[in-house]
Amino acid sequence: MPEWPPEWLETDIAIVGSGGAGLMCALHAATADPELKITIVSKGAVGRSGCTRMVQGGFNAALGAEDSLEAHFRDTIEGGQYLNDQELAWTLVCDAPGVIDELETRFGCLFDRTEGGAIDLKPFGGQSFDRTVHRADQTGLEIMGRLRDQVLRIGAHELEDWRALDLLFDVHGELSGLTVLDTQSGHAAVLLARAVVIATGGSATMYRIAAPAREKTGDGMAMCYRAGLPFRDMEMLQFHPTGLVAGDSALTGSVLEEGLRGAGAHLYNRFGERYMERADPIRLERSTRDVVARASYTEIVEGRGTPSGGVLLDISHLGADEIRRRFSGMAARTLLVGADLTTGPVEVSPTAHFHMGGVVIDQDCVTEIDGLLVAGEDAGGTHGANRLGGNGVAESTVYGARAGDTAAALVRDRALYLPDDRLVADSLDQAYAPLRRSTGLTPFELTDRLKHVMWTHCGVVRSRGGLLQAREELSDLASQLTRIAVPGPKEANPAWQQSLDLASQITVARLIVESALEREESRGAHFRSDHPERDDDRWLRAVIAERGPDGNPSIGTRDVEFTRLAPGGRAVACETA
């Protein structure tokens, strides 16, 4: 069924993903060399899909008079419980103020300002100073709208509604580009590129309650895994504390932003107890996401949650007018599920949200494969064991910009390499296989099973027994992929696309479970009920996962390097990152 030979396309830089990282990459590469041919491969609408546009809260940057780069760095490292790659974290905090300036003065973003004209900074959990730049509670829409406008100006070639399938290499192992698939027509192509940038985002949609855009299914991570790249800290999957509870609605799991808790929202169980007084009596609801999510989860599983399996978030004491002024988007979102944030409590639950783990990179997004860069949520190390709210969109834009600069320099001296025909054939055969089967399983039933396995056995609280059960079930799910059959044509076939999504999700899920089994302690987002304490003596180590000779994950560890701040130490003065 795959067309042979496939269409061949050619570009200088192929960017896979069109969120904040992807678009910043394109803009920086075009600025560095306007003559470059840049191609953006986007599973959805370019700049109007993915998760950056869904960012509500804001962008962390040390801009306040009393704030500093050192304070932002310390908060990031302490929030990450010292598991961070400190050079990545330092680069993030040092570059963030400049990126805010660039977003405003070069790309035209309009962030909220105080009456005196300074950029308004709101409080977020785990931060020693208010440092979250925002546009009300729709910051992502503001950033992505402006970046999208600028990308239209540079004339990048857009493969919209195309998905990336596999990285390609020539017969000597040189990166050649990738196979891509037009999800509307069903036609495949080979995209030759001098450099490839992976910026597709994570795969938290593998959980039953999840926050990300539904097109985020770990495709970039799965491609990198199959290509042999090492990953770090894949057990560190963040659960946002406040996802909406809305029954079978697609809005279940969608985030009510952290700024609500920063502004004074309270969390209650069904008995009216403000349980964060027990979980973190100092920071209360402004504690870090891992602490709040675990406290909420505990209330629910121990029977103190609501009948619908949630807890209650209440900010109505601020008054309806103030809530609508500061959180108009959140107020509108709750109305969609029959609740009203402005007048009373709303049901929420922890929701799978963000990968702190990912591909091992350096500060310029370089990987172990020449010509292949990774930026944004596909990369690991910046956030350690727990990401602070507001550091996510900062990471996407900071490292997207760096990836663009790096890619533009890289392609000056890198040739185009023709891919091994066997790799092209294998990639397309795998992709089209579900269409060739007349009978078999549907991807929908297997997807539901995956979501249940991950939520139940590798969720907010984990144990060895549950993780071993998850390992067994994921192995079985992986074997079932070869039995999926999807009816209908190749054109605009959602079942076929879901079968491809599922393959990526299972690949990433296995990395998460194997890494979680390896880390026998509790740290940040990773909580083991059978090892409930943080163990700095044994586990100030990154868990490294990569593809073994048999195709299954091979797991090891690597000491964390305290290049700037050791536990109990102090940050150094800022240097050029």
Q: What is the DSSP string of 468-497?
A: HHHHHHHHHHHHHGGGB---S-STT-HHHH
User: Annotated catalytic, 240?
Assistant: yes
Calculate the CA 336 to chain-centre distance. Answer: 25
Q: Which two tokens stand for residue 114?
A: 């105080």
Residue whose token pair is 């507001």:
390
Vertex 548 angle, CA 17 and 543, to 5°: 70
β-strand partners of 299: none
Rounded-to-integer distance, Cα 177 and Cα 168, Å: 5
Residues making up the chain, counted from first to last:
577
Helix (H, G, I), strand (E, B) or coil at 424: helix
In whole angstroms, how far apart are CA 421 and each of 181, 182, 372, 424? 17, 20, 20, 5
User: Whose CA is closest to 257, among 127, 396, 136?
Assistant: 136
- Out of 74, 240, 462, 531, the active site residue is 240
Q: 38-42 and 157-160: which strand pairing?
A: parallel
Q: What is the DSSP string of 428-468?
A: HHHHHHHHH-SS-B-HHHHHHHHHHHHHHHSSSSB-HHHHH
Rounded-to-integer distance, Cα 88 and Cα 91, Å: 5
CB 17 within 8 A of CB 220: yes
- Out of 74, 135, 261, 353, the active site residue is 261
User: Annotated catalytic, 353?
Assistant: no
CB 60 within 8 A of CB 28: no
Neighbouring residues of 66: CB distance < 8 A, sequence distance ≥ 6: 129
**Running DSSP on this structure, what letter comes out for residue 379?**
E
Count of CB atoms situated within 10 Å of the CB of 558: 12
Active site residues per annotation: 240, 261
